[in-house]
Amino acid sequence: MSAEEHAIDLPEPEVPAHSVSFFSRYRLIIFGLSGFFLVLIFLMIGIALGMAKKNFEKSFYLTQIEKLKDALSGSLEKRTELERDITELKVELRAKKDHIAELEDKLAEQEHATRRQELKAKDEGSTAHTTEANLAESTADQQSENYLRLKAGDCLVEGSAGATAANWRECLKKGKKVTAEQQSAAH
């Protein structure tokens, strides 16, 4: 049998070309391409969302870093101001301690002078009239000398020559307490 006989024996059914639709003919290819494009679109959406999230986080962290930087510079400025205040307070404290030391020296000198006057008065054995005159004079002098003006407050020391030294000490202690309270209130 020849090739012609075979061709005749097998009749091919003729299907009209327009009876099979385009979709049914290329359906696998269309599904494959549409799946590929859907995956590609979802991938691009995911990448876009990831980039947006990354940019948002980056800007958030940058603003946080800027805020921290501003807060740090502010705290450093405040620290330097406080250090300056502390040094000024230390200088004031030294000056007050020096002032107190000077006043204590004056107090010791006055105690010594008072003792000398008492010893002198006893040694002289003077009369009551001269003693009263000296006492009146010393009282007037003591009233002008017995007034101590501290930065913390004023003290007026009254009393006899022996009690005056104790009163001066008490006044100085009160001045120390007041300055210590002022310093603790300043901190």
H or E element, residue 77: helix 27-124
At residue 76 the predicted structure's pLDDT band, cuts being 50, 70 and 90, is very high
Q: Name the pTM for this structure.
A: 0.38
pLDDT, one tens digit per residue, over 85-141 is 999 999 999 999 999 999 999 999 999 999 998 888 887 765 545 555 555 555 555
Of 180, 173, 183, 143, the residue nearest 159 (C-alpha): 143
The gap from C-alpha 56 to its chain's centroid, in whole angstroms, comes to: 32
Q: Which of 18 and 29 is assigned the larger pLDDT?
A: 29
Model pLDDT, residue 19: 67
- C-alpha triplet 100, 101, 102: angle, nearest 5°: 90
At residue 172 the predicted structure's pLDDT band, cuts being 50, 70 and 90, is confident
Contact call for residues 161 and 96 (beta carbons, < 8 A): no
From first CA to last CA, the distance across the chain in angstroms is 122
Mean pLDDT of 35-56: 96
Residue with token string 């010393």 = 138
From the CB of residue 137, how many other CB atoms can be counted at a distance below 10 Å? 10
Residues 6 or more apart whose Cβ sits within 8 Å of residue 172: 100, 103, 104, 107, 148, 150
